[in-house]
Amino acid sequence: MKIYPINGIKLSSVFSGMYKKKRLDLSIVEIGSGSSVSGVFTKNKARSDAVNISQNNLKKANPKYLVVNSGNANSGTGENGYKDIIKYSKKLSKDSGCNMKDILVFSTGIIGERINANKIIKSIPSLLKNLNKDKWLDFSYSILTTDKINKVVSKRIKLGSELVTITGVAKGSGMIRPNMATMLSFVATDMKIDKTSLSKMHKNLSEKSYNMISVDGETSTNDSSVLITTNNTKTSYKKLSLKNKKYFYESLESIYIELAKKIVKDGEGATKFVTINVSKTNSSNNAKYIAMSIANSPLVKTALFAEDPNWGRILSAIGNIDTKVKDLSKVEIYIGNFLVFKNNKVSNKYKENKVKKYLKNKNIEINVNYNTGKYKATVWTTDLSYEYIKINAEYRTWFK
């Protein structure tokens, strides 16, 4: 897949020594002047000072540099964690000539252990020297932790006479993750968008993508999503025709959804990619809660792993959600296109062996129709396998 650079964005990555094994583990991203940056951050109260500092700086200034490391999350590290960030930010500020408040920092990896600021400090000169607009691929590798594959999506679209580019990377292994499910996402475009619209757009995009993948409520201490525009197009988003506005927004949305799906597909121990569509509910939130209840049920997940059409577990997951719909008699449950439950009981048309065969596919759909309203939601998730336990039981051996 072609990765299009974004005018105004330069990147570089190195091995700074956070891991035992040699691999890219530290990047900086340089953001050209005139750019706008929006951030969405974890709500976890035990969050890293990296998140606190980035969120504060975003309020004060237009960021010029992102510093992103993997291997150490710098969370649960108290005042030392804060001091360490200041220490390496000072070095970057000095060497690049930017202000401290122009730097955002992102960390993912093991938590509770002090980050080695000196390793970052030592790497800054070469990182600055090697900044290059074509280094998105290196960047995508440098942020990985337990991920098996890197995650990049890039698109160039034509809006009238202009070419607009969107490129993004993400990390995270989806479902329920070691070291607390850290999800990082960095997406950039050259489309001219005012800061207020950018923030609003970013919030909506996160809601429809990263908030729609099953992380079983375990928001990490470090989850962060950054959306950058370098504002390099002639026409601004606001002045686009309705049709082109929609085209741009949907292109950007598809980048987010593709990155989110890549995270799920890389889910720890995942053997299935599961799409859960809940439709015709009485509110949008309810549609999401119902889909998430199914997605997060270990019973549903283990049945999917076993390729066992145990639809009763889906029914129970639905029954547990307080949707104010007391009567489930209108609810229909489909596995793929197979109707399994209707009128409060197993469907007359239900053939277990057919559904069993369908469940042998890698991509599975569960469709639930509430028939009580007009709202819907789609959530993506994985099954729960032996491999998941293995990965999460052995995680810390990677570092010691």
Enumerate binding residues for a second copy (CB under 8 A): 43-47, 73, 75-81, 110-113, 176-181, 216-221, 297-299, 302-303, 305-306, 308, 310-313, 315-320, 325-328, 341, 343-346, 384-386, 388-390, 392-396
Nearest-approach distance from CB 162 to a second copy, in angstroms: 43
43 or 243: CB nearest a second copy:
43
Give the side-chain half-sphere CA count within 13 A for 292.
Answer: 20
Inter-helix orientation angle 298-305/312-319, to 10°:
160
By annotation, the residues acting in catalysis are: 182
Nearer to a second copy, 89 or 219 (CB): 219
- Closer of 136 and 370 to a second copy (Cβ): 370
Listed residue (88, 61, 378, 108) closest to 224, CA to CA: 108
**22 vs 345, beta carbon nearer a second copy:** 345
- Least distance between a second copy and beta carbon 213 (Å): 15
How far apart are alpha carbons 49 and 116 in whole angstroms?
Answer: 15
Q: Which two tokens stand for residue 395?
A: 């995680």
Tell me which residue of 371, 378, 366 sits closest to 344, measured CA to CA: 371
CB nearer to a second copy: give 34 or 319: 319
Residue with tokens 């491999």: 387
d(CA 7, CA 12): 15
Alpha-carbon distance 358 to 12, whole Å? Answer: 45
CA within 13 Å, CB half, 273? 10
Q: What is the dihedral of CA 212, 215, 220, 222, to 10 degrees?
A: -50
Output the six-digit token pair for 221.
Answer: 């201490």
Nearer to a second copy by C-beta: 201 or 215? 215
Min separation Cβ 68 and a second copy, Å: 20
Beta carbons of 76 and 221 less than 8 angstroms apart: yes
Closest CA to 106 of 27, 33, 210, 12: 27
CB 330 → a second copy: shortest distance, Å? 12
Minimum gap (Å) between residue 95 Cβ and a second copy:
29
Q: Cβ 152 to a second copy, closest distance in Å? A: 27
Dist. CA 24–CA 18, nearest whole Å = 9
